[in-house]
Chains A and B, each alone.
Chain A
Amino acid sequence: MKELNELILPDDVRFTEEHEWARKEGENVRVGISDYAQDQLGDIVFVELPEVGSSFSKGDEFGTVESVKTVSELYMPIGGEVVAINEELADHPEYVNTDPYGKGWMIELKPTNPAELDELLDKDAYLKQLEG
């Protein structure tokens, strides 16, 4: 298990209390789960993602991530329409473990309200939550 000071927490993403991350990519926003989440879950063996074109509000469940230990729900950090999903995860779910903010991204959104991104936790606030 990683110690808190070993966690990768990039400066260019925002976090949710449920351990998703969101990063602005041009007009769109990419979403995945944090290094802390993947470390806690252990080997990710399956990621269930929504159809491209589906729309969700902030906080909606958009998929599940299955580890050797359990099945966990994924929640929308902000509202929006899914414009792309990471299809490589079908064959390589382990990318969520090895590169949670890069090759392990899950969905790309067209935000309903881009300002929702600013309401998410920044690195320091997220770390503070993890420290409890």
Chain B
Amino acid sequence: MKRTPLHGWHKGHGANMAEFGGYEMPLWYGSAKEEHLSVLTKAGLFDTSHMAVVEVKGSNAFHLLQKCFSRDLRECLGPTKRPLTPGNCVYGVFLNVSGGVVDDAIVDQLDENHYLCVVNAGMGGVLTQHLLDHAEGLSVHIRDLTDEVGKIDIQGPAAAKVLKKVLQDPGAVFEGMRYFSFKGHFEDSSGPTGTVLLKNNIPILLSRTGYTGEFGFEIFCDPTRVTEVWEMILDAGRDFGITPCGLAARDSLRAGAVLPLSHQDIGPWPFLRNPWIFALPFNEDQTGFTKDFTGGEALLEIHDADYTLPFIGNDLRKVPVTETTTVQTLDGSPIGTVLTCVTDMGIGKVEDKIYSVASPDKPVGFAPRGLSCGFVKVKKALKAGEAIRLTDGRRAITVTITYDIRPDRTARVPIQSML
């Protein structure tokens, strides 16, 4: 099993460790519930150095990504569909020729014809090969930076206040830092994305993105210095109640934010009829795509794809997700499988309305026990509000199909109001 540079820190701080994506990672330190709640109300710090980065550079870099990535880089930013430009990033998927997911990714543009693809644990080599397979005749350098980049995520409403204490010139860094934009580079460089330095002169790539649905940043740096950065941020965050967080909290936070876990909620089946098809380059009337790309042609031919839908439970109870866990209609007919089932411990139902511990209008004394949530993959088109049964054969819970799960998420809140 592989280890991140923070492995020793995790072990030394009593983390409960488990295998994930080929890495030995912390599941939680003291309490996964406290870690989850800390991200909703204060700040949490995650070791995400198991994730991989693939660099794509050269005169045909744009061309290669237009051919392989699901977003049309000429029109993918914001509601007005602006082109991707240096300092901005975008979420999408890489598909195989059958329209199945190789992996999902955030693509960062550093410069003209210079990109970073941030992918999941163990996927650096896979994506590198996938891109090479499509790069014949193109002038492009593809470099797998797995193990050459350290990464930690600070997530939660206090994230900018904490970083303000460790950044050189935080005012300039935070200026105009929109959701899905980034500044700096983890190597010393003077490209268009500028330089972001920590007070101890470590260069970082600071990206206003994350995997919790909450306000925050992903920080990329030299892996040999990631422990130093981690400790510096924890130290600066003490007054704000920052908590180191493990993968359990990451999983429950992202599910509540309706974000997919690659290879679990999306995978080698057609990337269609799911909550994330905004990542496909649909034309205005949704009849086709604005560009040709790998997997696109296959998707347009498929008309019987399963439906991947978010659900929310009536209380905190889950069903264990195993190969035999099924989705049934209320009269017991099997209609599909459960992809994710976790408990978002920061939400609860009061008179049929769902609140989060971070909801501004939450009832006085609101102390939720949590609600189960996740994703099902079913043969039938179900509408929000329809009830289904999830069972592993031993336990059954009734849950409701929904569009959204945890209310009042902060990921998109303007940075000025978070300082």
User: Which residues of chain B have C-beta atoms less than 8 A from A64's C-beta?
Assistant: 395
A18 at the interface (CB under 8 A from B): no
Residues from 282 to 312 in B contacting A, C-beta threshold 8 Å: none
- In the complex, the answer to whether B16 meets A71 with C-beta atoms within 8 Å is no
| A66 and B318 within 8 A (CB) | yes
Q: Which residues of B contact A97 (CB under 8 A)?
A: 31
Shortest Cβ gap from B412 to chain A (Å) = 27
Which of A45, A69, A73 meets B27, CB within 8 Å?
A: A69
Digit string of B156-168 for contact with A (CB within 8 Å is 1, else 0)?
0000000000000
Q: How far is the CA of A66 from the CA of B345 in the complex (A)?
A: 13
Chain A residue total in the interface (Cβ 8 A): 16
Say yes or no: is A122 at the interface (Cβ < 8 Å to chain B).
Answer: no
Given known A1-B17, A42-B32, A46-B317, contact A69–B248 (CB-CB < 8 A): yes
A-chain residues with CB within 8 Å of residue B345 when the two chains form the complex: 45, 68
**CB of A5, distance to nearest CB on chain B (Å):** 14
Minimum C-beta distance from A104 to chain B (A)? 15
Q: Are A68 and B319 interface neighbours, CB within 8 A?
A: no
- Residues on B with C-beta less than 8 A from A81 are none
Indicate if the CB atoms of A71 and B320 lie closer than 8 Å. yes
1/0 per residue A18-55: CB within 8 Å of B? 00000000000000000000011011011000000000
Residues of A within 8 Å of B342, CB to CB, are 68
Among the interface residues B16, B17, B252, which one has the most CB atoms of the partner chain A within 10 A? B16
B353 sits at the interface (CB 8 A): no
B343 within 8 A of A: yes
Check if B414 is an interface residue, CB within 8 A of chain A.
Answer: no
> In the assembly, what is the distance between CA of A68 and CA of B27, in Å?
10
- Contact flags B11-49 to A (C-beta < 8 A → 1, else 0): 000111100000000011001110000000000000000
List residues of chain B with CB under 8 Å of any chain A CB. 14-17, 27-28, 31-33, 248, 252, 316-320, 342-343, 345, 369-370, 394-395
